[in-house]
Amino acid sequence: MATIVNELSYGDAPVKIRADLAGAHARAWRRLAEPGVWFDGATRVAIAAETRNAASCKLCAERKDALSPYNVPGEHDSLGDLPDGALETIHRIATDPGRLMQSWVHGLLDDGGMSDAEYVETGGVVVTIIAIDTFARSVGIEPPALPNPVAGEPSRVRPAGAKLTGAWVPWVAPEDRTQTEIDQGLYGEGGPFIAHIRRALSLVPAEAIGFFDLVENQYLPGREMRNFGEEYRAITHSQIELIAGRISALNQCLY
C-alpha cells in the first residue's frame, strides 16, 4: 500500500499556528501528493513545482507587462515535466489570473491537450500550492519542500450531474449531486443556495471539497462568515473582509 512520505507540520514556525489551520494544510499537502481524479501523484506534484517555477518565467513577465498577454508569443521557462497545454494553464493562472478569458480556456481544451476536467484539476492543484505558499510568505516561514508523490492510479470518475450552465467549465449544481458526492462532503452543510465559488471546481469534486477544507480553516466556515454577531478569529469580520477585498483588488478579481 502507498504510504505518505512527507507530512506538513508547522511545529517550527516562529508563531503558533492554529491547530485547525495546520490540520487543513496537512490534509491539503497529503492530497497534493496522492493520485487525483485525472492525474497521478507524480503529475500533481509536477504541477505544484511548475506553479512555483512560473514566478521566474521570462515569458510570463513579458506578458504581465504587455497591454494584452495574448499578443506576446513565446515559450515558458519550464521544469520540463509537463506538456505545453499544462504549462500555459499553470503559468497563466499563477502569474496573470485577472486577464484569463473564456476563449483562452476553450483554446486550450480545443487543442486536444487536455479535457475540461483535467483543466479544473490542474487549476485545483495550482490554487492549493498558492494558498499554502502565500500563507508561508505571510506568516514568515519558508515554503515547504514539495512532498514525494504517492503511487497509484487516478480514479477517473466524472460527476454524472456536471453541466455547463454558468461558468466556462461545467459544474455540479446542488440538486444534481449524487448521494456519493453528498456523502463525500461536496458543498458540506450548505443549504439550497450554494455560491458559485463553491461550485467552481466541482467538475472534479475532490478538488472542490479539498479546496474548501482549506478555505474554511484559513478563513471561516459559511455559517460563521455571515454571523456578524460573533467573532471567531483574532481579527474581526470587517478586518477579515478588508484584507479579502484588498487582495482581490490587487488580483483584479471582481468576484
Partner 1 sequence: MQLLRESSRHSGNDIDFNAILGETDGDVGIPHADILVEFTEAVWGDDDTRLMTARKEIVGVMGEDALVDASGITATFNAIDRVADLTGIPLEDSKAEDTADLREELGINVFETGNA
Nearer to partner 1, 2 or 164 (CB): 164
Residues 58 and 198: their CA atoms lie apart, in Å, by: 33
In this structure, what C-alpha cell is assigned to residue 89? 494553464
In this structure, what C-alpha cell is assigned to residue 98? 485577472
Per DSSP, the residues of 109-177 read: HHTTSS-HHHHHHHHHHHHHHHHHHHHHHHHT-PPPPPPPPPP--------TTEE-SSSSS-EE-GGG-
Nearer to partner 1, 155 or 248 (CB): 248
**∠ CA(206), CA(137), CA(48), 5° rounding?**
40
Nearer to partner 1, 49 or 240 (CB): 240
> Residue 53: enclosing H or E segment and its boundaries?
helix 41-53
Nearer to partner 1, 65 or 255 (CB): 255
Residues 82 and 248: their CA atoms lie apart, in Å, by: 29
Residues 122 and 131: their CA atoms lie apart, in Å, by: 14
User: Least distance to partner 1 from the beta carbon of 226, Å?
Assistant: 7
User: Least distance to partner 1 from the beta carbon of 206, Å?
Assistant: 14
Nearer to partner 1, 182 or 235 (CB): 235
User: Least distance to partner 1 from the beta carbon of 92, Å?
Assistant: 9
Residues 18 and 135: their CA atoms lie apart, in Å, by: 13
Are 214 and 30 within 8 A, CB to CB? no
Nearer to partner 1, 8 or 148 (CB): 8
User: Least distance to partner 1 from the beta carbon of 131, Å?
Assistant: 4
User: Least distance to partner 1 from the beta carbon of 78, Å?
Assistant: 19
User: Least distance to partner 1 from the beta carbon of 185, Å?
Assistant: 17
